[in-house]
Homo-oligomer: A and B are copies of this chain.
Amino acid sequence: MDELDIEVVAEPSLDDPVLIEGLPGVGHVGALAADHLLEEFDDESTLVRRLYSTAFPPQVSVDDGVASLTCTEVHAVTDTGGRDLLVYTGDHQAQHGEGHYTLAEAYLDVAESFDVSECYALGGVPTGELIETYDVVGAVTGEEMIDDLESAGVEFREDEPAGGIVGVSGLLLGLGARRDLTAACLMGETSGYLVDPKSARAVLSVLESRLGFEIGYDSLDERAEEMEAVMGKIREMESQATMDVPSEDDLRYIG
């Protein structure tokens, strides 16, 4: 296998589609959001590409006993009620810096072949504390995009995210800008300690408003309730054991 191997599964014709990237990252926010999107648009989705790479971990996932090689899947979604979508999902990001560059360029190449002119990279931004209100923080390739996104509820802050954006979401903006792609990163605030379905819902709400589709949230809300139950149990154990509120350190290794 070469460093990169793009398998063409289908070639549907799409109407000015929007790239949605939801690979794993902080709080699993982007992945939860993109997976939920595909679940809700199950009947409207077609797998169009699989991207294999030696930059992925050397591993297969196993589903009901059947193994499949680590890859990024690209689904086309049509008849959304709004814009057509090209959704990137998968279990892994690249394992090293060079691989991130190689894969981000490949993602953009696939997007170009479908004439994508707009891109949303979905992710989470860690706050280090439990969240009450789930804000969505934005970063863009050009400041002319800021007003529209603010109208959709996205916040832009002077010094956030402080350390920049690492991995595929960052590179889709950095490398996309060099190709004149209009791209934004939508980062749901999340504690950073736990898989966070509520943060994913906040990010999807922005997308609904921007791209003109509507989806249900039952399965995501259910998952959020499960996480609440886990959190409740942790709080209880903590207070029984030490009569203290859980400290950051206690939570750090859970999610």
Interface residues in chain A, defined as those with a beta carbon under 8 Å from any beta carbon in chain B: 1, 3, 54-62, 64-70, 91, 94-98, 100-102, 104-105, 138-143, 146, 156-158, 160-161, 164-168, 170-171, 173-175, 177-178, 185
Bound complex: CA of A157 vs CA of B66, how far in Å? 10
Cβ 8 A contact of A177, one of B67, B100, B101, B157: B67
Q: How far is the CB of A3 from chain B (nearest CB, A)?
A: 8
Q: Is the CB of B104 within 8 A of A58?
A: yes
Q: How far is the CB of A183 from chain B (nearest CB, A)?
A: 8
| Number of copies of this chain that the complex holds | 4
Contact A60 B97, CB 8 Å, known A67-B140, A177-B69: no
User: Closest 7 interchain pairs by CB?
Assistant: A69-B174, A58-B100, A65-B156, A54-B101, A67-B173, A60-B170, A60-B174
Subset of 30 A-B contacts with CB under 8 Å: A54-B97, A56-B97, A57-B97, A58-B94, A58-B100, A58-B166, A60-B164, A60-B171, A60-B174, A62-B139, A62-B160, A62-B164, A64-B156, A65-B138, A65-B143, A65-B157, A66-B143, A67-B140, A67-B164, A67-B165, A67-B170, A67-B174, A67-B185, A69-B171, A69-B173, A69-B174, A69-B175, A69-B177, A70-B164, A70-B174
List of B residues within 8 angstroms of A157 by Cβ: 65
With contacts A59-B164, A97-B55, A170-B60 taken as known, whether A175 is within 8 angstroms of B142 at the C-beta atoms is: no
State the Cβ distance, A220 to closest chain B Cβ, in Å: 21
Query: A143 to chain B: which residues have CB within 8 Å?
Result: 64-66
Residues of B contacting A70 in the complex (Cβ-Cβ under 8 angstroms): 164, 174
- Could you tell me the distance in whole angstroms from the C-beta of A178 to the nearest C-beta in chain B? 7
Chain B neighbourhood of A175, CB < 8 A: 1, 69
A166 to B95, CA, bound (A): 13
Q: Is the CB of B178 within 8 A of A69?
A: yes
For A139, the chain B residues whose CB sits under 8 A away are 60, 62, 65-67
